[in-house]
Amino acid sequence: MSVKDERQEEGARNEQKRAEYIESQTRRHLMDTRGLELDDKGAVRDGQWQGGGRRIREEEVKQLEEMVEMVEVLKKAADAAGRSSTREEEDPS
């Protein structure tokens, strides 16, 4: 066997190891983050497709952002009210 053939075989082995590593880490990620149970071939064990859900419309995103802003305003107001009532309790003059 020539040096060139040995290098090609080593390269093929390294590619195979890399592919196996990527597959194992992808499987691990899906199991950890999505809670999927995968079999040895990567198929979902319960047979149910675990899709990402429906697409969120731009209007819905804007509404959610508005709600977050409202909650932040209410939280600031509550914090301010809490600070002012605490001051009144400490200094009743």
Cα radius of gyration (the chain):
29
- Token pair 């093929």 in the structure block, residue: 12
Residues facing residue 17 across a β-bridge: none
Domain ranges of the chain: 1-47, 55-93
Query: Higher-confidence residue: 10 or 46?
Result: 10
In this prediction, what percent of the chain has a pLDDT beyond 90? 18
Mean pLDDT of 41-68: 78
Mean pLDDT, the chain, integer: 81
Q: Is residue 93 very low, low, confident or very high in pLDDT (cuts 50, 70, 90)? A: low
Contact 44, 38 (CB under 8 A): yes
Three-state DSSP class for 37?
coil
- The per-residue pLDDT for 75 is 92
Q: What is the pLDDT of residues 1-26, one digit of tens each?
A: 788 888 888 888 999 999 989 888 88
Residue 92 φ/ψ, nearest 5 degrees = -75, 5
